[in-house]
Chains A and B, each alone.
Chain A
Amino acid sequence: QKEVEQNSGPLSVPEGAIASLNCTYSDRGSQSFFWYRQYSGKSPELIMSIYSNGDKEDGRFTAQLNKASQYVSLLIRDSQPSDSATYLCAVELGGTSYGKLTFGQGTILTVHP
């Protein structure tokens, strides 16, 4: 089992729809969770971080965390073509106290007009 696993893509949604990206992690002691966006040929950029169970909203983005199920998701409302990118889930696995992040393999999202 991979330490951080994302739903296999690619994911294609029409403009204006909700895109749902999912991520599971193996270590129950993990405390910090991040979503990065990576455009083709570019470096990752942080879009959301979440540390507590529940939802966290930032504009069109909502991160959801369920530690009991070891599951974190990212919802993108009113998806735009400019949201087309690879979305990376990153987890600071339990037992690592130095900010070390373990990334999932990424989910490619395409928003078509």
Chain B
Amino acid sequence: EAGVAQSPRYKIIEKRQSVAFWCNPISGHATLYWYQQILGQGPKLLIQFQNNGVVDDSQLPKDRFSAERLKGVDSTLKIQPAKLEDSAVYLCASSPGYQETQYFGPGTRLLVL
């Protein structure tokens, strides 16, 4: 069974630029999560989807971050404009449904200069 796929794996941008990350969850998984992990900290949930609907986006900085999950499969996370403090690893995870084991993708490492 293929795991969670993410791209790109690395991204370097300058502040005020925009960037987008892509995630393809495990086939059949209804729930998809985007986490931000700053160096030395645990992952922080940004947004959770159930199929193509948003379940929780309470910690998403909506003035600059946006996310969508079209057709309940792939998802994209966008940052526009980026700030220095957005430098982090962005992890995508999926699970078959609510309250089931979450499987993480390899992450995208973002550096904002």
Residues on A lying within 8 angstroms of B by beta carbon are: 4, 32, 42-46, 49, 88, 90, 92, 96-106
Contact of B104 among A44, A49, A99, A106 (CB under 8 A): A44
Please, which residues of chain B bring their CB within 8 A of the CB of A102? 45
Contact of A100 among B40, B45, B97, B103 (CB under 8 A): B45
Whether B14 sits at the interface, judged by CB under 8 Å, is: no
Knowing A44-B104, A46-B101, A98-B55, say if A105 contacts B41 (CB, 8 Å): yes
Q: Are B31 and A42 in contact (CB under 8 A)?
A: no
Q: Are B100 and A99 in contact (CB under 8 A)?
A: yes
Q: Are B42 and A88 in contact (CB under 8 A)?
A: yes
Interface size on B, residues (CB 8 A): 24
Q: How far is the CA of A42 from the CA of B109 in the complex (A)?
A: 11
A32-B99, A102-B45 known; 6 new pairs, CB 8 Å cut-off, are A43-B106, A46-B102, A99-B98, A99-B102, A105-B41, A106-B40
Residues on B lying within 8 angstroms of A by beta carbon are: 31, 40-45, 48, 50, 55-56, 91, 95, 97-107
Contact of B98 among A4, A43, A97 (CB under 8 A): A97
Q: Are B45 and A101 in contact (CB under 8 A)?
A: yes
Q: Are A43 and B42 in contact (CB under 8 A)?
A: no
Please, which residues of chain B bring their CB within 8 A of the CB of A106? 40-42
B25 CB to nearest A CB, Å: 13
Knowing A42-B106, A46-B102, A92-B99, say if A99 contacts B43 (CB, 8 Å): no
A85 CB to nearest B CB, Å: 13
